[in-house]
Copies of this chain bind each other. A is one copy, B any other.
């Protein structure tokens, strides 16, 4: 048979790129060809920035968000309200709130959700820190975990563990997403939207 026409360095690059999430074999190939046609200094910059970000970014000691110093940009901001703590699964979830520009509280990143089948119990995620933070002037915990089974179970666990304390514990509203066409809304969302219906005249 024929010898393959591509160089092995190129193959290795394609393999590595294809390991990244949501990048298929074909996209990886397109990216690799792009990189070979990119000026050397830009490839050097990309290569360097990958390492610098991975080496320089670490968890905030207070909340677990990505940080370059001991505290993340939110925790070290004197204008944020440290009494309101929004509990999220991952640092990426924080950007969804920050985009709003209206949330003034801080965050707590669990780094995962409870999943007994995968061996993830309360000790495996950043829960102990959350409970100890609650002893330091927190007035509200907003649970903002995913609405899948593990997210719900984790929220329930937190609610139970905070049962004796006087702080407010809330969760995000559930219902129809913006722009939804009722015909295509799934049953669980519809059920929750119905259960959570609000009076317009009261």
Contact = CB atoms under 8 A, between A and B. Distances in A.
Given A31-B21, A54-B35, A8 B101 contact: no
Interface string A33-50: 111101010111111111
A33 B73 contact: no
A120 interface: no
A201 interface: no
Contact of A67 (B7, B40, B57): B7
Interface in A101-137: 101, 104, 107
B31 A94 contact: no
Interface stretch (A10-18, A141-149, A176-184): A10-18
Interface residues of A, number: 65
Taken together, the copies of this chain in the complex come to: 2
A95 B30 CA distance: 11
22 contacts: A1-B101, A2-B79, A2-B101, A3-B74, A5-B95, A6-B73, A7-B66, A7-B73, A12-B49, A16-B45, A16-B49, A19-B42, A20-B34, A20-B35, A21-B31, A21-B34, A22-B31, A23-B31, A35-B50, A36-B53, A36-B66, A47-B48
By Cβ-Cβ distance, the 4 closest A-B pairs, closest first, are A13-B53, A43-B54, A7-B68, A9-B53
Given A7-B68, A22-B30, 5 more contacts: A5-B65, A7-B73, A10-B57, A29-B95, A47-B48
